[in-house]
Each structure stands twice: as structure tokens, then as C-alpha cells.
């Protein structure tokens, strides 16, 4: 994408997120345990045909010219992101492989924590960008970072679709982890009058 197309795609994706995935003026408990009056449920956007296509292209663009070997992240939120992004990378001719990290290893079968790698495939020595759908404190993303590091991968950045701006940047800074977001909560809260 060029800069003009990228801006248009970002604005269109933001509109889809606002319509399908953002709620303000609610009373909700987040996965982090915090109470909030606004909420992002990115699954309707990630599973919308246009939303998925735009998301994949923008995530791929956000990886920059120095592409990682892999994108991956914690189940469930990262699974659609990495699936669409790896497909978009193939279409562009700049393949980036993908995987996801289970919250806990299965108790049967291969008992893997990291899923999606072929029988002779490993992330050891590979550069990885960990992706997440919505980031609050950053603790969930760090679980994926820890799993990648334990498997010998080098995490070069954490990339989130939406940063709720509730401490993730500080958490990542303390962990020495570069962190970026496609969108911030302020972009949606301002637009909705909050």
C-alpha cells in the first residue's frame, strides 16, 4: 500500500471497528480484571470480510520493511490476526509465517504450547513480532513473549490492534520490549464524545 491508500484503509478499518467492535458507556469487567466503561470486542471486526482484509494489510504494513520471520500471539485474539496477515504476506510476495501460543499446553496429542509449526519447523533463532487484538496492561502479550523466548525465538516487537492506554506501554518498557499499536482507545473515545 502507498501512504494515501494506507490512510484510507486505516480510516475505513477504524469505521468498521467503531461500528462492530467498540462500545462506550457500558459497565464491564475486562480480562485483566479491571472495570471499564468502554469495551473493544475485536472478533466481529476480525471476522468481517472487509475488516479482516484491511486488518491484514495494515498489520503487514506495520511490520515495516525489516520483516520478521514470524508473527504470533496468544490464543484466541491473535489467531485471526496471524492467519490473515500470513495470507496477505504471501499475496504480496513477502512471506511471513505465523503461529499461535496456547494459554496452556494441550494435555493430549503433541502437548504443544506453540501451534502452527510444521514437524521440522522451529522458531529458534527467528525474529518474531507478537500481535494482540486489544491490549490493556500488556500482561497477556508478555505471556506470548515468554513462550517465544522459551522456544528460542527473538521477539522484536509487540504490535496490538488497539491499545486501551491503560499501562501496556509502561509494562512493555519495563520488559525492554518495543510496543506499537494500530489504534488507541482515545481515537474512539474522542469520536464518541467521551
Angle between helices 78-92 and 49-62 (to 10 degrees): 70
The whole-number pLDDT of residue 107 equals 60
- Is 121 one of the annotated binding-site residues? no
Domains contained in the chain, number: 1
Question: Which CATH number covers residue 8?
Answer: 3.40.50.2020
34 is in an annotated binding site: no
136 labeled binding residue = yes
Cell readout for 20 is 462492530
Report yes or no on whether pTM surpasses 0.85: yes
Q: Tens digit of pLDDT for each residue in 88-146? A: 999 999 999 999 988 765 565 555 678 888 888 899 999 999 999 999 888 889 989 99
Confidence label for 191 from pLDDT (cuts 50, 70 and 90): low
Residue 88 has φ and ψ, to the nearest 5°, of -65, -35
Q: Is 124 annotated as a binding residue?
A: no
**What is the domain range of residue 36?**
3-191
Query: At which residue does the C-alpha cell 471499564 appear?
Result: 36
Amino acid at each position: 500500500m502507498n501512504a494515501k491508500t494506507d490512510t484510507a484503509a486505516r480510516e475505513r478499518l477504524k469505521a468498521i471497528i467503531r461500528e462492530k467492535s467498540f462500545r462506550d458507556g457500558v459497565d464491564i469487567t475486562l480480562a485483566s480484571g479491571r472495570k471499564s466503561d468502554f469495551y473493544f470486542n475485536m472478533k466481529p471486526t476480525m471476522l468481517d470480510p472487509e475488516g479482516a482484509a484491511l486488518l491484514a494489510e495494515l498489520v503487514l504494513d506495520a511490520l515495516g520493511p525489516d520483516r520478521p520471520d514470524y508473527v504470533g500471539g496468544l490464543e484466541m485474539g491473535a489467531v485471526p490476526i496471524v492467519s490473515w496477515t500470513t495470507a496477505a504476506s504471501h499475496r504480496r510476495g513477502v512471506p511471513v509465517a505465523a503461529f499461535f501460543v496456547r494459554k496452556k499446553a494441550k494435555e493430549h496429542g503433541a502437548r504443544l504450547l506453540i501451534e502452527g509449526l510444521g514437524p521440522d519447523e522451529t522458531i529458534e533463532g527467528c525474529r518474531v513480532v507478537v500481535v494482540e487484538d486489544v491490549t490493556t496492561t500488556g500482561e497477556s502479550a508478555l505471556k506470548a513473549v515468554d513462550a517465544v523466548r522459551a522456544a528460542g525465538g527473538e521477539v522484536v516487537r509487540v504490535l496490538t490492534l488497539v491499545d486501551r492506554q491503560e499501562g501496556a506501554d509502561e509494562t512493555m518498557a519495563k520488559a525492554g520490549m518495543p510496543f506499537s499499536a494500530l489504534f488507541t482507545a482515545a481515537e474512539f473515545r474522542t469520536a464518541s464524545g467521551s
